[in-house]
Structure 1
């Protein structure tokens, strides 16, 4: 019997699989397993994660934002240059994003609900997918009106960029959703909510851009994409869990920083092979 999930033990618990952990194993099982067992430490830029949490915590509650600033405030400040001691440029943009949303009635009604609505912030959901215990945290759930909202920060919404998955140029918001697997994430959360409540919920993404003048939209995901995302997760999750549990050897992608650190020179690789990939 696993322990009951609470706000205090949620992040330390490893008895349940999270979407973010699942996605790490999708990228490279060998690296994710090495990170989990402490034999590899990721060297990554925290800026995007900190910015997202900076904006999220503000709309969760004043207490949550104060706690975030107490824990991470030093990382938000410039250490050198003429801006020393003030917010770094990335987080000045964060303040602009917050201002853009907090003065928007449409956002307030959706994210915080109406006065008589039962809205829960950072609600923990959990259940099983293909027998694997899974958990998640939802930004805002309107239990009265049957929907939940995921607040996503994006570099743009309507600019275009190349999508490897779709093999064409698409709007940045679409590339974010497909490229980062947000359709699978929201489909997973919808399924866990259904298991917990017996009700169907509609997921919405509240996208806000990191542009100097932030853009914002409520984005819906068509059912076909939600079904595709959940189907993909179901097809892979049992293998991922078997690797995490030590019942199956992790596969190496061969190209990430961890795999490069383990690499030994092997057979010659010909140009035709590189082109053929």
Structure 2
């Protein structure tokens, strides 16, 4: 199966290739993961999920389209009717903070939402890289998080949420597809009105 942006999240894609999100779901609950592949279970889109999508859509350059497709971002009654809900006003502040940070913007420069495919552990895998910059020798993933310095049972947020595994898998798939070994980075921004930001190199310290 040829994976495209149009079918990347389809059941057919899930059946033909493994992805990091599928892998994480199998680790969490095999029964739930199999139900999703069969079309019997669908992950709900919470406000936290949509907030992350809001910020990613900005990075991808498709924010206006995202807003049009998600009218639930806006208040539908009262004095705030037609305005962004408070949750997504936070997203606007996150975007502004990134736009004003030259270092973060540097690591968000490159080809966006690049599909990668390869074989790992005897099965076919797929991924979608937020930012791929072959010329400058890196790829990056934009992550929104509650608090950059928060610890989860002694782990950093990138360890706790499996981002180390994600970046390691993406690194190998990129190596297979493009023949280059790129340095992985995470550009992180907190979900707050005055967010902290960080550029994290996922190197030997983690892998």
TM over 0.5: yes
- The separation in 2 between residues aligned to 1:7 and 1:40, in whole angstroms, is 22
**Other-structure match for 1:133:** 124
1:127-177, Cα deviation, whole Å (9 max, x unpaired): 00011100000111111011001000011113x34x23xxx3x6xxx1x21
**Unaligned runs of at least 5 residues, structure 1:** 113-118, 227-277
Q: Distance in 2 between matches of 1:145 and 1:93?
A: 32
Residues 1-277 of structure 1 aligned to structure 2 (within 5 Å): 3-12=1-10, 13-14=13-14, 15-42=16-43, 44=44, 46-61=46-61, 64-72=62-70, 74-80=71-77, 82-112=79-109, 119-158=110-149, 160-161=150-151, 163-164=152-153, 168=154, 174=156, 176-226=157-207
Shift of 1:67: 1.9
Query: How much is the aligned-residue C-alpha RMSD, in angstroms?
Result: 1.8
Is the Cα–Cα contact under 8 Å of residues 174 and 181 in structure 2 kept in the other structure? yes
Per-residue deviation at 1:84?
A: 3.5
CA distance in structure 2 between the aligned counterparts of 1:224 and 1:210, rounded to whole angstroms: 26
- Residues in 2 aligned to 1:41 and 1:7: alpha-carbon distance in whole angstroms: 19
The Cα shift of 1:88 comes to 1.3
SS at match of 2:206: helix
Structure 1, residues 203-230: CA drift from partner, whole Å, max 9, x if none? 000011112201111012231422xxxx
- Once residues 38 and 79 of structure 1 are traced to their aligned partners in structure 2, the CA distance between those partners, rounded to angstroms, is 32
Pick closer, same or farther for the CA change 1:224–1:213 going to 2, 3 Å.
Answer: closer
Larger radius of gyration: 1
5+ long unaligned stretches in structure 2: none
Please give the alpha-carbon distance, in whole angstroms, between the structure 2 residues aligned to 1:111 and 1:85.
31
TM-score, normalising length from structure 1? Answer: 0.69
